[in-house]
DNA sequence: TCTGGGGTCCTAGGACCC
DNA sequence: TCTGGGGTCCTAGGACCC
């Protein structure tokens, strides 16, 4: 029987903030989304105060601040870096590690001779010591049961943050006490449909007839049911795959009515998405743009639309993609709406072996490559608004404009490229 | 005033082929 | 008189995840 551990960082973003600002220890900390719109992470103290995940911050902001809650805007570069450190430590404890998300990994414990809870406690304390991040560890014969065990470890202090759900009796008890929605892969909709046929708990689902589940709910739920039985269906996957899509989207700080503003946003998102894509050595065959109004303002006329364009040749050329994105935007944009959000998706991604190969379909490949690399550097250095201006054909800051227009511009590239 | 951002997988149905 | 059926591929949209 395989044994799988799920290591999950506790309150990850809040914990990261604390590592870099130790005075936040023991304090209630929340991390907010873009525009400081809603709560996306909370320290234990903040959870204990009843601050909900996803809660719109503006609703209770004054109240919480008065009660001493510390607030941080999200810093994904920091979290990504901390995540990599944690994963590096975890790698040393297993022959096979699947990085599932920024704060979670599955570890294969097969062939580990030590008692698994002792082993897990060792992992936990090592991660804590080397990175400053606290983790909880759940162990089970399948990923789904490891998830359940992890949840149990997080919620029951007596476990000390480590719990192995290997005993059949314990499995029955815990599965009978959980709600369907507590199971990985089951959310509101599926839970409702399951209850409609009399399956009210994870235990009911586990004990139901496989063929019945398969017929009524499809392979996804069938796998969940099998996993709950301890049958490992979702195997560990330790190779990193190329991304299948790359998206950049944002909610605007204020509602946008003019086409020009929307266009600036879309061009800016496109350049960021293209930049991400190039960093992963990928090129896109398809670009899709979407815009939407604010669904929370009931009195506003609502509008949502998206449009995709196929690219004849896979490309990661910012200019080319930006032009296609604008084409798409022109098609879906409508007057007299107040837009809240826009996004750009790159799809049909394929790897490019060499940076130069198939990357550009313009004549001046070398020049385009240089310009593109420099744009990435400018982005990093001056912020994306700079490129947004340049990309949209507007007037960038004078110094940058001079850089772009100067005949000797190429001699400046090397300086810019040193940033890399 | 103010409600995130970035992903993956599966399915159903249509088009098309032999 | 009889008017198939199996298979693949593609896409849009749903559902779920962190």
Residues A140 and A276 grouped into a single domain: no
**Could you tell me if A194 and A221 lie in one domain?**
yes
pLDDT in tens, A355-407: 443 333 333 344 445 555 555 555 555 444 333 333 333 333 323 333 333 33
Residue A361 confidence (pLDDT): 33
Same domain, A250 and A222: no
The 8 Å CB, 24+ separation contacts for A319-322 are: A319/A391, A320/A361, A320/A362, A321/A270, A321/A273, A321/A274, A321/A284, A321/A287, A321/A346, A322/A266, A322/A267, A322/A270, A322/A271, A322/A274, A322/A391, A322/A392
> CA-to-C1' distance for A115 and C9, Å?
50
Mean pLDDT of chain A: 85
Backbone angles phi, psi at A7, to 5 degrees: -105, 125
Identify whether the C-beta of residue A173 lies closer than 8 Å to the C-beta of residue A154: no
Mean pLDDT over residues A235-261, rounded?
A: 93
pLDDT at residue A411 in the model: 33
pTM over the 0.95 mark: no
Q: What is the pLDDT of residue A381?
A: 52
In DSSP terms, which residues pair with A349 in a beta bridge?
A284
A338-359 confidence digits (pLDDT tens):
999 999 999 999 898 644 433 3
Across A9-32, average pLDDT:
96
User: What pLDDT is recorded for position A374?
Assistant: 53
A382 in the same domain as A250: yes
A160 lies in some domain: yes
Sequence-ordered list of residues with C-beta below 8 angstroms from that of A411, at least 6 positions apart, any chain: none
In this predicted structure, what is the pLDDT of residue A60? 85
The pLDDT value given to residue A383: 45
**The two three-digit tokens of residue A412, written as one number:** 């400046």
The whole-number pLDDT of residue A34 equals 84
- For residue A71, give the 3-state DSSP assignment: strand
Q: How far is the CA of A244 from the C1' of C5 (A)?
A: 34
User: pLDDT tens digits for A292-332?
Assistant: 999 888 888 889 899 999 998 899 999 999 999 999 999 99
* Terminal-residue alpha carbon distance, chain A: 47
Query: Count of alpha carbons within 13 Å of A37, Cβ hemisphere only?
Result: 12
What sign results for the dihedral spanned by CA atoms A187, A154, A59, A250?
A: negative
The integer distance in angstroms from the CA atom of A161 to the C1' atom of B1 is 42
Residues A213, A253 within the same domain? no
Residue A285 falls inside a structural domain: yes
Choose from A33-37, A150-154, A359-363 the range with maximum mean pLDDT. A150-154
Report the DSSP beta bridge partners of residue A163: A138
How many domains does chain A contain in total? 2
Q: Which residue has the tokens 């936040």?
A: A24
Residue A130 inside a domain? The answer is yes
CB-proximal positions of chain C, under 7 Å: 12, 14-18
- Give the tens place of pLDDT for each residue, A71-115: 999 999 999 999 999 999 999 999 999 999 999 999 999 988 889
Residue A158 predicted with pLDDT over 90: yes
Residue A186 is part of a domain; what is its CATH number? 3.30.70.270
**Cα separation, A388 vs A407, whole angstroms:** 22
- Residues at the strand C interface (Cβ < 7 Å): A 100-104, 147, 183-191, 308
Q: Do A198 and A261 sit in the same domain of this protein?
A: no
Question: Residue A37 — pLDDT band, cuts 50, 70, 90?
Answer: confident
Nucleotide nearest to A192 (CA to C1'): C15
Handedness of CA A405, A406, A409, A415 (dihedral sign): negative
Residue A221, pLDDT above cutoff 60: yes
Residue at A413 is within a domain: no
Structural domain including A93 reads 4-8+88-228
Tokens 């190779």 identify what position? A239
Q: Which nucleotide, over all strands, has the C1' atom closest to the CA of A38?
A: B3
Radius of gyration of chain A (CA): 25
What percentage of chain A carries pLDDT values higher than 90?
Answer: 72
Instruction: Kindly state whether residues A177 and A293 are assigned to the same domain.
Output: no
pLDDT higher than threshold 90 for residue A260: yes
Q: What is the pLDDT of residue A386?
A: 39
Query: Is the alpha carbon torsion for A193, A198, A200, A202 positive or negative?
Result: negative
CB atoms within 10 A of CB A6: 27
A348: how many CB neighbours lie within 10 A of its CB? Answer: 17
Q: Is residue A108 part of a domain?
A: yes
Closest alpha carbon to C1' of B1, residue: A254
Q: Is A79 domain-assigned?
A: no
Tell whether A251 and A388 lie within a shared domain. Answer: yes
Structure tokens given for A222: 């069938």
In a domain, A347, yes or no: yes
pLDDT in tens, A40-82: 999 999 999 999 998 889 888 888 999 999 999 999 999 999 9
Distance separating alpha carbons of residues A316 and A308, to the nearest angstrom: 16
Point out the residue nearest to B10 (C-alpha to C1').
A220
The answer on A220 and A107 residing in a single domain is yes
- The spacing between the Cα labelled CA in A240 and the C1' in B7, in angstroms, equals 14
Any domain includes A410? no
Residue A114 pLDDT: 87
Among A228, A262, A294, the domain-final residue is A228
Mean pLDDT of A130-154: 98
pLDDT of residue A384: 41
Cα separation, A83 vs A270, in Å, equals: 26
Check whether residue A264 and residue A197 sit in a common domain. no
CATH number at residue A377: 3.30.1490.100
| Residue A349 shares a structural domain with residue A221 | no
The DSSP line for A130-169 is HHS--EEEEEESSHHHHHHHHHHHHH-GGGTTEEE---HH
Using the 3D structure, point to which of A195, A228, A261 is the last residue of a domain.
A228
Chain B positions with any atom < 7 A from a protein CB: 1-12
User: Are A250 and A351 members of one domain?
Assistant: yes
Distance, Å, A319 CA → C1 C1': 65
């Amino acid at each position: 029987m395989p044994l799988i551990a799920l290591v999950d960082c506790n309150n990850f973003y809040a914990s990261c903030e604390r590592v870099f600002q130790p005075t936040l220890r023991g304090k209630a900390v929340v991390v907010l989304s873009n525009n400081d719109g809603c709560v996306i992470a909370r320290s234990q103290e903040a959870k204990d105060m009843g601050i909900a995940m996803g809660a719109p911050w503006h609703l209770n902001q004054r109240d919480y601040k008065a009660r001493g809650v510390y607030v941080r805007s999200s810093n994904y570069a920091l979290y990504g870096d901390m995540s990599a450190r944690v994963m590096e430590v975890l790698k040393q404890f297993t022959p096979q590690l699947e990085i599932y998300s920024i704060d979670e990994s599955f570890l294969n414990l097969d062939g580990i001779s030590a008692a698994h809870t002792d082993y897990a406690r060792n992992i936990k304390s090592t991660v804590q010591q080397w990175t400053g991040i606290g983790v909880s560890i759940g162990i089970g014969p399948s990923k789904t049961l490891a998830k359940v065990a992890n949840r149990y470890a997080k919620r029951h202090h007596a476990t000390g943050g480590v719990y192995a759900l290997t005993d059949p009796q314990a499995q029955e008890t815990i599965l009978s006490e959980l709600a369907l929605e507590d199971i990985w892969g089951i959310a509101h909709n599926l839970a409702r449909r399951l209850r409609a046929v009399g399956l009210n708990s994870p235990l009911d689902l586990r004990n139901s007839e496989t063929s019945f589940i398969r017929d009524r709910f499809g392979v996804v739920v069938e796998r969940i049911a099998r996993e709950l039985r301890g049958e490992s269906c979702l195997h560990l996957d330790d190779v990193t795959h190329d991304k299948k899509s790359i998206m950049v989207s944002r909610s605007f700080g204020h509602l946008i009515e003019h086409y020009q503003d929307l266009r600036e946003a879309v061009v800016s998102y496109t350049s960021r998405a293209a930049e991400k894509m190039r960093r992963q050595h990928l090129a896109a065959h398809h670009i899709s743009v979407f815009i939407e109004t604010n669904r929370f303002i009931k009195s506003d006329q609502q509008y949502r639309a998206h449009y995709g364009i196929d690219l004849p040749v896979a490309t990661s050329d910012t200019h080319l993609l930006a032009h296609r994105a604008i084409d798409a935007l022109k098609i879906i944009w409508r007057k007299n709406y107040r837009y809240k959000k826009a996004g750009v998706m790159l799809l049909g991604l394929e790897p490019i072996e060499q940076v130069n190969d198939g990357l550009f379909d313009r004549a001046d490949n070398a020049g385009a490559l240089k310009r593109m690399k420099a744009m990435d550097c400018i982005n990093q250095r001056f912020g994306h608004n700079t490129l947004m201006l340049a990309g949209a054909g507007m007037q960038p800051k004078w110094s940058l404009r001079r850089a772009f227009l100067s005949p000797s511009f190429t001699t400046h590239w090397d300086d810019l490229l040193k940033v890399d």
